[in-house]
Structure 1
Amino acid sequence: MRAWGHELGFSQIGVAGVDLHEAEPGLLAWLQAGFHGDMQYMQAHGLKRARPAELVPGTLRVVTARMDYLPRDTVLGRDDDETVGWQATGWQRLHDARLGNVSLYARGRDYHKVLRQRLQKLADRLQDAVGPFGHRVFTDSAPVLEVELAQRSGLGWRGKHTLVLSRDGGSMFFLGEIYVDLALPVTEPGGAHCGQCTACLDVCPTRAIVAPYRLDARRCLSYLTIEQDGPIPEAFRVAMGNRIYGCDDCQLVCPWNKYAQRSTLPDFDRREALAEPPLLVLWAWSEADFLRHTEGSAIRRIGFARWRRNLAVALGNAWRETGDPAIAEALAAAQGDAAPLLREHLDWALAQRARAARSA
């Protein structure tokens, strides 16, 4: 299976058992604290996430898979020079207020499509070898306790930012699973290697990592710019900076990501329109432009209204930082026919320069 997985572009394959009862108290506590925000489906599914055999009756094992997603042309870092490599470039982009910043994982093809197809091919290879068996393929598409399964099967350990970390791949990878009714031998988990490091907690722009291994989604910029369909809370708009889809800060700062690997697949190569997009260029997109540039991309699922909402906040921050009159003109021109959600963010954005002057 490992050999087949590598042929399909996976970096690592593991097998986990289905007894996850030790994870249930933590899941319940997270839900009871309201840290899932408006993601009501997480509350609705409840403990089914920690009970694979309830989600898919007959499941005996879960095949776990890791797929690296850094684009093939990514410049990897060097131990002796932290000023080069994709992490250094990421920080530079965050400090250029005129550029829009899209999370690295979303600059290529939608990972749901890529992983699901390749996981099914892996399942088909296994079926060819052992005969018919029951299975279901999942890629962030069902109530699956992905991180728990990944660490139990030896793909890595849960980092303090709640993402899976690997000693030879950092955290720049996707996870996928195949629920099977075969009693495959399980792979052994490894140890955790975060030690005393708190870099991810310290760098989070909204303090969403409220404690080691505990994330409050309601404060997380990835949740706010992608999952939430209402207003961005005003308390977090300045902290958004130029992040218009997701946030990579906790991964940019993580020391283990100096070991992150490039993908072997062209699917995750950066689209030109999302490589280094000026905010004003993105703001000028019509809805048809948005749909064309995001076809087959994970970004498309947030829709044009949320996309414009996010851009309005980023442009407000750029207006405050740069004082570029072209930004104010572009924002003001959109006020006339703006829907209420967008108008609220436009009004906030246009007020930023004056607020900056008052606080100076």
Structure 2
Amino acid sequence: MGATIKGRGSRQYLPGRFETTTTEAVDDGWTVRGHPATADEESGPDPLRPRTEVREETARSIISRNSSPDVGFSQSVNPYRGCEHGCSYCFARPSHAYLNLSPGLDFETKIFAKTNAPELLRRELSRKGYQPSPIALGINTDAYQPLERRLRLTRQLLEVMLEFRHPVSLVTKNALVERDLDLLQPLAEQDLVHVHFSVTSLDPHLSAKLEPRAAAPHARLRAMEKLHAAGVPVGVLFAPTIPWVNDHEMEAVLEAARAAGASSASYILLRLPHEVAPLFRDWLQAHVPDRAAHVMSTLQQMRGGRDYESGFGTRMRGRGRYADLLEQRFVLAWRRFGYAGLREHRLDCSRFAPPRAASPQGELF
């Protein structure tokens, strides 16, 4: 499959499942992976250091809706397609196949930015008859991935949420969320926001391999602590839980997050839909070859003998003895570290206030 690429979670351009033809590069001494063997800044891109390309996208709609019984939201907004964090296990990778791009390296190097997302959100929230329901912001790909520092689409979306007093939840692996504390704090004062931090490991070396361009674990915990101190409700998501890779850290992550102010906690078993399975198998061979077979064997025990089961009720937790053990460990840790005694934070939909249409008589009151 080739050498690992610094700063990237995948090391291959795996064809998408809808491709009718595929190509395979061969090193004949003149070319390397389809690029000149002597590629440099003048002759072309370095095939071992693929650059991130940002493509502007004009979206036709921005709010996605679902009726899945095992997720805690019915509406979501994703300002980006693809994610520069490069998490090797990302369940959203197969979505790039719909664009005739690779769920491998293309997913983390060819990012689509929905530049009209704030405008669309304002329009959709203003529609007559719209019924407010909490919106999960950046649920497929991280709304605070590195490009957000420059593009600021997530910040603009939060400005719309605050303007309309619309409830919103966030899941992120980036400490960049601290930048928007001036928006999150007034949202929190009205019970309109909850921020979840995904913490996969407390080991910075393992984290750098699993999610190469995400914030380091200590930076996420520090951001969690800062938001909590400002009155913003925060929680932790130990996801994905990977047997024999990070599952032994479950208790430590929950304890560290509780100390940083987390008032809620959850976990999700590793999901390997479509192209994610071969990509993650390749990651195992590159980083933990001694455990690769054992990891996949244990996962298959929890997935009915397959790499993945998509059925509601089992896709998030798995089944079987090992899955039961993970559940028991989580419940015990959840109680031990004090999550059990905390009030569940509920977002308030009653404050929703869409702007009134302009009147030729002006505003009387």
In the superposition, the TM-score normalised over structure 1's length comes to 0.29
Higher RCO, 1 or 2 (CA under 8 Å, sep at least 6)?
1
In the superposition, the TM-score normalised over structure 2's length comes to 0.28
More helix per residue: 1
